[in-house]
Amino acid sequence: MRNEWWGLVVAAVAVGSARADLYEFVFRGTIDSVGGAAPAPVGVGDDFEFRYRFDAGWSDSDGAPNVGKYLGAMYVSWVTIGSEAWHQTFPGDVFVLNDGFAGDSYTASTTGPISLAAVNMTNLGGAAFDGDMLPINLHLPDWGIRSFTFQWDVGPTSWSASGEIAGFESRLAPAPGALALAWGALVARRRRP
């Protein structure tokens, strides 16, 4: 019986780790500007975190050798500003520009029915990227311009917040459904007589 339980856990972990091309980026910083028509539930000085998961094997939809358009590569995102938090499962896009007019640029954004979250980073020297591939890591000191923006748009209660990115992490992400599979295996095992 004990071996069956471990077998289920090992199978669930194996399924979850089979997709080594799924990554999670985490951007952190402090809000330095808040605006809009209504008082926002966040304020200047609040810490923010924008976290999203994406498929690093996603196809580039732009044929230019220095432009990468990865439409729909992001599949889930989270935003926390101060004590407020939002979660979205809407697809998001990543844009990579290598050696453009202003150097190298990285933009990632997700838009839901009433909100938008985005990071925009620029390396004015053009030394951050070697091509237009979807990066799996970003060396934060390479980016002289690095901003985060969040917009909430619900009629008269619209507001926005932005800040400079001060911290960054990249890590492998579990495959969608892998944790649910592991949990389901444990629950099924527990219910057995």
| Average pLDDT in the chain | 87
21 domain-assigned: no
81 domain-assigned: no
Strands (E) across the chain are located at 22-36, 47-55, 67-81, 84-88, 92-100, 103-111, 115-123, 145-152, 159-172
Query: For the segment 11-36, what is each residue's pLDDT rounded down to a tens digit?
Result: 444 444 445 699 999 999 999 999 99
68 domain-assigned: no
What was the pLDDT predicted at 38?
77
Query: For the segment 108-140, what is each residue's pLDDT rounded down to a tens digit?
Result: 999 999 999 999 999 999 999 999 999 999 999
**Per-residue confidence band for 149, with pLDDT thresholds at 50, 70 and 90:** very high
45 domain-assigned: no
79 domain-assigned: no
Burial code (b: 16+ CB inside 10 Å, e: under 16) for 117-135 equals bbbbbbbeebebbeebebb
Contact (Cβ atoms closer than 8 angstroms) between residue 16 and residue 175? yes
Could you list the residue range(s) of the whole structural domain that residue 153 is in?
92-174
Helices (H) and strands (E) in the chain, counts: 2, 9
Please count the structural domains in the chain: 1
* Size of the chain, expressed as the number of residues it contains: 193
